[in-house]
Structure 1
Amino acid sequence: MPRNDTAPAPTPGGGRRSRREEILGAAANLFAVRGFHGVPIEEIGSAVGVSGPALYRHFSGKEALLAEMLVDISSRLRESAATHVTAAPDPSSALERLLSAHINFALSEPALIRIHDRELDNVPEPARRQVRRLQRLYVEEWVTVLNELHPAIPPPRLRAATHAVFGLLNSTPHSAGELDPADMADLLQRMARTALTTAVSGD
């Protein structure tokens, strides 16, 4: 029997997620495997035990669901970066915290990485602009820290290096299956640090 649409579901940590969060999580898993256009909205509802019409009480449609999914993760990344940079005692510590936070995201949210890479064009334009604005702000948190560490390096080079490191870290949906997560995190941290050092060395 389908669950009551107002009843939240338990999370692995013992807390409870709202129905809206449940729907977003189920949609992310389905979109990552079969693509945005390959998943009917009724199947998303079925995955969390609600009917298609009941799902419309939370989202106006698949496009709105996808938009909220990508805006939310972009917002969370940017807010996390700002928090880490503000709390760090020095730029070196700030960079290590930025690396650790992004690696944790990359290892824990591979479905969202796949969806962003493949489905951003399916997001309505106003939300797409919001996603891109938040992403630019996220990049600038990194560039500001790198500029404090390497003031002689032009910001465009630091920005390009940051995007390149994101490409490395966001490759985890294709590469993270064979290693223990802690080992993979350590490997990514070492590789990203080396890539940034090379980018600013001027060699």
Structure 2
Amino acid sequence: MTSGLTERDRAKADRQAAIIHEAARLFAERGFSGVSLEDLGAAVGVSGPAVYRHFANKQALLGAILVGVSERLLAGGREVLARTDDPRAQLEALVAFHVDFALSDADVIRVQDRDLASLRDDDRSRVRRLQREYVELWMAVLERLHPDRAESDLRVRAHACFGLINSTPHSMRGARQTASDRAVRPVLESMAIAALTI
């Protein structure tokens, strides 16, 4: 009985992950239209045409980045909520989870902000649907914490919280990452909790 993936399968998966990682970095730096397949290949040590073995085209690669991160956020948010039934603890854990995402996936946030419109229509629709589902996770917790508040009020707070946290990759560009993360994390978390609970 073998355990699924062959050595070749693992190597292919590793190469795809490396291409996605480098593509996010390059798209964040130069924009989707400013990066060629040759640039992407060079970043991972292959020829430009070799990228086609993993992705049909550059647009499919952009889809892998943005659909992939939306799927990870939704799955991670569901995992966070499954750990406790207490809405305050859930909210704090969601905030910490989203701050982790913003600090570790800053390139992806920049790509989404600038290049979402460059996605194929089906990928863009999928990203939007996944993002709506992620917002609904937060809304369910906020409604339990504030049953007396209007849904519109809570939705504004949730989106403002995302805006606050997701702005960090733009404001911290060029800062020394590890030291900045340590300094910024508690500030972001306390500000986000305050915005969601006052």
Partner of 2:106 in structure 1? 110
Partner of 2:195 in structure 1? 195
**Cα distance in 2, alignment partners of residues 61 and 76 from structure 1:** 22
Match of 2:157 among 148, 156, 161: 161
Displacement of 1:102 in angstroms is 0.2
**Cα distance in 1, alignment partners of residues 153 and 117 from structure 2:** 27
Partner of 2:122 in structure 1? 126
144-153 vs 85-94, which moves further:
85-94
What's the TM-score once normalised by structure 1's chain length? 0.87
- Larger % of helix: which? 2
**Cα distance in 2, alignment partners of residues 77 and 148 from structure 1:** 21
Displacement of 1:71 in angstroms is 0.2
**Cα distance in 2, alignment partners of residues 117 and 78 from structure 1:** 18
Q: Secondary structure at the match of 1:56?
A: helix
Alignment: residue pair count: 187
Indicate yes or no: 2:158 matched with 1:144: no
Q: Secondary structure at the match of 1:128?
A: helix
Match of 2:94 among 89, 94, 98: 98
What's the TM-score once normalised by structure 2's chain length? 0.89
Per-residue CA deviations over 1:70-103 (Å, capped at 9, x if unaligned) read 0000010011001111212411110011000000
Higher RCO structure, 1 or 2 (CA under 8 Å, sep 6+)? 2
Residues 81 and 141 in structure 1, CA contact (< 8 A), matched pair in contact too: yes
Match of 2:49 among 48, 53, 60: 53
Residues 19 and 40 in structure 2, CA contact (< 8 A), matched pair in contact too: yes
Displacement of 1:6 in angstroms is 7.8
One-letter amino acid of the counterpart of residue 20, structure 1 = Q
Residues 139 and 162 in structure 1, CA contact (< 8 A), matched pair in contact too: yes
One-letter amino acid of the counterpart of residue 18, structure 1 = D
One-letter amino acid of the counterpart of residue 35, structure 1 = G
Q: Secondary structure at the match of 1:88?
A: coil
Q: Secondary structure at the match of 2:194?
A: helix
Residues 67 and 127 in structure 2, CA contact (< 8 A), matched pair in contact too: yes
Q: Secondary structure at the match of 1:194?
A: helix
Residues 6 and 19 in structure 1, CA contact (< 8 A), matched pair in contact too: no
Residues 109 and 166 in structure 2, CA contact (< 8 A), matched pair in contact too: yes
One-letter amino acid of the counterpart of residue 183, structure 1 = A
Indicate yes or no: 2:65 matched with 1:69: yes
Pairwise CA RMSD: 1.7
Q: Secondary structure at the match of 2:53?
A: coil
Q: Secondary structure at the match of 1:93?
A: helix
**Cα distance in 2, alignment partners of residues 186 and 66 from structure 1:** 32
Displacement of 1:8 in angstroms is 3.9
Displacement of 1:38 in angstroms is 0.4
Indicate yes or no: 2:179 matched with 1:183: no
Per-residue CA deviations over 1:28-60 (Å, capped at 9, x if unaligned) read 110000000000111101110111221101001
Displacement of 1:7 in angstroms is 7.9
Q: Runs of at least 4 residues of structure 1 off by over 2 A?
A: 5-9, 174-180
